[in-house]
């Protein structure tokens, strides 16, 4: 994908794997493809948000498979996806040891409490902010936290879709 016109015209068999590398939710990718053609980037993003808002818990958990833990290297992802995740989490690589340890411990607590990885749109956020958000979210009940995860997944998907489509399409 590089332009909205290409996105609208690309064969499903070419575009679907590309979408799944951005957000590993089959229902999301299939829904975005089924709604083509789009008039503009805003329409793509609105459709993405609407699809993600309807994903059930199992589908959300499936989508999380494409995301490494905050503060950890992406393992099992293709090279491009791993590089994208590393860039999005770049503040963690520069964090001091105490912050990195706090994220590691928080990840364990989060997974024990909610049964999934701590997902947060890390791009543009400091390591201290990521730790603070994690601590805050540990106080959520499971239903509230699932909605927070859904919102973070939508933010990440918006960022990645926007980066995929060239600026002249906006």
Instruction: Give the integer Cα–Cα distance in Å for 15 and 161.
Output: 12
Distance from the Cα of residue 66 to its chain's centroid: 8
Q: So what's the pLDDT on residue 80?
A: 59
Identify which has the larger pLDDT, 91 or 16: 16
Q: So what's the pLDDT on residue 167?
A: 55
The residue ranges of every structural domain in the chain are 4-169
Q: Is the pLDDT of residue 35 over 50?
A: yes
Q: So what's the pLDDT on residue 125?
A: 84
Q: So what's the pLDDT on residue 169?
A: 40
DSSP state at residue 167:
G
Q: Which residues contact 24 (CB under 8 A, 6 or more apart)?
A: 62, 63, 64, 65, 66, 67
Tell me what the mean pLDDT of segment 102-115 comes to. 93
Assign 3-class secondary structure to 105-153: HHHHHHHHHHCCCCCCCCCCCCHHHHHHHHHHHCCCCHHHHHHHHHHHH
Tell me what the mean pLDDT of segment 22-29 comes to. 92
Instruction: Give the integer Cα–Cα distance in Å for 44 and 57.
Output: 23
Specify the CATH number of the domain 4-169: 1.10.3330.10
Q: So what's the pLDDT on residue 170?
A: 41
DSSP state at residue 169:
G
pTM over cut 0.75: yes
């Amino acid at each position: 994908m590089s332009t909205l016109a290409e996105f609208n015209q690309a064969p499903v068999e070419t575009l679907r794997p590309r979408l799944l590398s951005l957000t590993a939710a089959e229902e999301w990718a299939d829904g975005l493809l089924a709604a083509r053609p789009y008039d503009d980037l805003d329409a793509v993003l609105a459709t993405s948000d609407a699809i993600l808002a309807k994903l059930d818990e199992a589908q959300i958990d499936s989508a999380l498979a494409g995301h490494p833990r905050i503060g950890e290297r992406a393992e099992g992802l293709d090279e491009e996806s791993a590089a994208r995740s590393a860039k999005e989490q770049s503040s963690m690589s520069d964090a001091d040891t105490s912050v990195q340890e706090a994220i590691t411990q928080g990840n364990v607590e989060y997974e024990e409490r909610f049964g999934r990885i701590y997902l947060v749109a890390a791009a543009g956020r400091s390591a201290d902010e990521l730790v603070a958000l994690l601590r805050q979210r540990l106080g959520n009940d499971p239903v509230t936290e699932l909605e927070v995860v859904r919102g973070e997944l939508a933010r990440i998907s918006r960022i990645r879709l926007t980066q995929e489509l060239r600026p002249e399409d906006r």
